[in-house]
Amino acid sequence: MILSCEVLKGNPSDSTLYQSTINKIESDYQIVPRDSVTDGGYASKDNAEYAQGKGIVNIVFNKIVGSLKNVVSSKNMETRLKKWRRGIEAVISNLKRGCRLFRCNWKGEAHFKQKVLWSVIAYNIRVMTAAVVAQL
């Protein structure tokens, strides 16, 4: 399921969004995650230090920049988190194909946001329905 979605104006750099995303998770769910795995766009020394300061134990960026290293408790944990990230990519791909998000013909920013958020709701309903049917 997709637990959080935000449509941003323009095309900001991923590395500038990491800290606000951690804060959003903390405010929405009243918990700081133990682990964090993101794609390479979020990789920066500042983001790694921020995550460590928040108490995140395992921090994995799929592509490392410069001298930055992943912070993990074990090589096995790093592998598991990278596999989790691949699963997230599959969810994104499924959302784009299944809800036709690869192209949005709805005009205007407000309509674009509506298209994205309604698509996320539809995707989540599909996931929940599949889970209920699997239990029957």
Tokens linked to 43: 């990789």
- Each residue's pLDDT tens digit, 57-80: 999 998 877 778 899 999 999 999
| Helices H / strands E in the chain, number of each | 4, 2
> For residues 23 and 30, what is the distance between their CA atoms, to the nearest angstrom?
10
Q: Which of 2-6, 38-42, 105-109, 116-120 has the lowest mean pLDDT?
A: 105-109
Confidence bin at 83 (pLDDT 50/70/90): very high
At residue 100, does pLDDT exceed 90? Answer: no
Backbone φ and ψ of 113, nearest 5°: -60, -45
pLDDT-above-90 percentage for the chain: 60
> For residues 5 and 25, what is the distance between their CA atoms, to the nearest angstrom?
11
> For residues 45 and 36, what is the distance between their CA atoms, to the nearest angstrom?
14
Contact of 95 with 121, CB cutoff 8 Å:
no
Please report the pLDDT score of residue 134 as a whole number: 96
State mean pLDDT over 10-18: 90
| Residue owning tokens 């449509």 | 7
Confidence bin at 120 (pLDDT 50/70/90): very high
| Stretch (H or E) spanning 110 | helix 109-135
